[in-house]
Amino acid sequence: MSTDPCTLYPALAHVEPPLHALGAALAPMTVPTDTVLFDANAACMGFPLVLEGEVRVSRRSSDGRSLELYRVVPGELCLASSASLFRSQPLSATGTTTKPTKLLLISPTLFGQWLETPEFRNAVLGLFAERMADLTGLIDAIAFQRLDQRLAAALLGRGTHLALTHQQLADELGTVREIVSRLLRRFEREGWVELAREQIRICDSAALRHLASLQTP
């Protein structure tokens, strides 16, 4: 997959000042896994454009629980960062890399200049519509689906061998590790999964898919 910024983000071909004119002032940075790029309630120091890797955006409650809102991969934009810069207000979520990640960090001043370009502004506004649809789906899942259904859905589509901890799944689902562990042990008793240290093997994806698709009364 190309890591060229203008290939991943076509709107950059139209921005002023142009990307090529910025030179070393906008050199890509590479950060390791589990790097906190931005933190909730802090000032936004820049707008990330992901070239390689992935950023997990989440909110954390006062009791330590975390809820994943969305992930930013190459070619996608970050809603929390853009909203913060648009409103000149603190960030509403935390962004953490899930793997080694290469990105450009656009300063707030440059972000404001680029917004004067219709193509870039439309790309950012389009992001709001896309992420709103994603977040509406997340709200529906939390409000109307049982946790075991959401866990079953979270296990699907990742292959048959998952290198995941129970805590990672709990963070993704916005719950606590103990509940996820209890549900996974139930799934194991049913013969749907096989558990090992930081590993989950899917044994019966059809059963998980059936549970995930059940209509909640």
CATH of residue 165's domain is 1.10.10.10
**Do 198 and 163 contact (CB within 8 A), yes or no?**
yes
Which of 99, 127, 142 represents a domain boundary (last residue)?
A: 142
User: Does residue 65 or residue 41 have the better pLDDT?
Assistant: 41
Together in a domain, 111 and 82: yes
- Per-residue pLDDT, 19: 87
- Label residue 145 by pLDDT band (50, 70, 90): confident
- Per-residue pLDDT, 216: 58
Please check the confidence at residue 133 and state whether its pLDDT lies above 90.
Answer: no
Please check the confidence at residue 95 and state whether its pLDDT lies above 90.
Answer: yes
**Which residue has tokens 């096989």?**
194
- Paired with 162 in beta bridges are 200
Please check the confidence at residue 101 and state whether its pLDDT lies above 70.
Answer: yes
Element (H, E) at 153: helix 147-155
**Do 208 and 184 contact (CB within 8 A), yes or no?**
no
> Could you tell me which of 21, 22, 11, 44 has the C-alpha nearest to residue 116?
11
**Do 13 and 20 contact (CB within 8 A), yes or no?**
no
Together in a domain, 118 and 152: no
Number of structural domains the chain divides into: 2
**Do 41 and 112 contact (CB within 8 A), yes or no?**
no
- Per-residue pLDDT, 217: 53
Together in a domain, 105 and 12: yes
Together in a domain, 110 and 196: no
Q: Which of 58-72, 132-146, 157-171, 194-208 has the lowest mean pLDDT?
A: 132-146
Cis peptide before 48 (omega within 30 of 0): no
Together in a domain, 89 and 189: no
- Per-residue pLDDT, 64: 72
**Do 183 and 151 contact (CB within 8 A), yes or no?**
yes
- Label residue 215 by pLDDT band (50, 70, 90): low
Task: State how far the Cα of 16 lies from the Cα of 118, in Å rounded to an integer.
Answer: 11
Please check the confidence at residue 36 and state whether its pLDDT lies above 90.
Answer: yes
Together in a domain, 15 and 70: yes
- What pTM, to 2 d.p., does this model score? 0.71
For 99-107, what is the mean pLDDT? Answer: 95
3-class DSSP state of 3: coil
* Torsion angle defined by CA atoms of residues 116, 21, 24 and 86, in that order, rounded to the nearest 10 degrees: 0
Burial (Cβ within 10 Å: 0-12, 13-18, ≥19) of residue 103: buried
- Label residue 177 by pLDDT band (50, 70, 90): confident
Together in a domain, 135 and 169: no
Task: State how far the Cα of 173 lies from the Cα of 141, in Å rounded to an integer.
Answer: 10
